[in-house]
Amino acid sequence: MTWGFMGERGTWGNEAAGYSMETMVETTGVNWATLAVSAFQATAFSTEIPYWEEPTVTDEEVRWAIRKAKSLGLQVCLKPIVNCADGTWRAHINFFDKDVPCEPKWSDWFASYGEFILHYAKIAEDTGCEMFCIGCEMVQTDRRESEWRKLISDVRKIYGGLVTYNCDKYQEDNVTWWDDLDLISSSGYYPIDDWDRQLDRIESVVKRFGKPFLFMEAGCPNRTGSAAMPNDWMHQGDINHSEQAEYYRTMFQKCGERDWVGGFMLWDWPAKLYAREEAAVHDGYCVYGKEAAEVIKAAFSAKLAVTKA
């Protein structure tokens, strides 16, 4: 499960955050946590990522979350994510392919992004994180192969665990540098009736590169209509717990038929958890207090039983 996304400074490392993580484990039976650290650049065309500033959580909060997860028996993937403060989705971060004087440049952006990523790679190494994710859904950057390969090389000088990149949905076959990573991962927000076709497409990528695969993100809000467009967090629909639960059943069934799907980092669980009695009216991705939580725990428990056997 992904934990803590968009957590602001002060929301990690306290009693409420500890309760949230404990409840996540108890409710879903997960054995991995992806800790999502959010930093911000001003716009999609800015070249500085001031990750040391508010609202990004402090380094001590990050270390606390890693310690807490490990105390609960979880393996940890540290996942620093850059977002745009103006609300533009990070997939649209983009610059001219050729550096032009007086214009923002890829070279400047990757210099700042590299500093950001290496800072957290050092924390991941120092705290014994089992996995490190170097980027998330940065579609327009995917074509910058040489810059990504250099960053991966720089990360490996600091961090000795598994290294991956979380490409966006439908982009698995557009990334050309999977061979430099330890595993392929992507966001699996695929329509409930399209899993077979998408898994066929992804399987060809997995076979071509010969790498393990997992869905670094996957999930669906509990709203009517969301199962057909699970990536649309802005979709408006009536609260529908059964539709969310059915989405998870279908996803687990379809992916369970492919032995190369290594797992899921489901989306998502907040550091500040809503009250249990509010679950009936909560319509986001988090499954706390919802029918889908039971589906997830049953699926994960069955998988773990098979693995241990």
pLDDT digits (tens, 9 = 90+) for 145-175: 999 999 999 999 999 999 999 999 999 999 9
The pLDDT value given to residue 309: 45
Contact 187, 166 (CB under 8 A): yes
In this prediction, residue 262 has a pLDDT band, given cuts at 50, 70 and 90, of very high
CATH code of 73's domain: 3.20.20.80
The pLDDT value given to residue 302: 87
Reported pTM: 0.97
What's the rounded mean pLDDT across residues 208-216? 98
What's the rounded mean pLDDT across residues 70-98? 98
Strands 75-84 and 131-136: parallel
Give the domain extent around 88: 2-308
Judge residue 293's burial from the number of C-beta atoms within 10 Å of its C-beta, 0-12 exposed, 13-18 middle, 19 or more buried.
Answer: buried
Per-residue model confidence as pLDDT tens digits over 104-116 = 999 999 999 999 9
The tokens of 144 are what? 């910058």
Q: How many angstroms separate the CA atoms of 273 and 275, rounded?
A: 7
The pLDDT value given to residue 307: 53
Of 23-37, 148-162, 268-282, 293-307, least confident by mean pLDDT is 293-307
In the chain, the number of structural domains is: 1
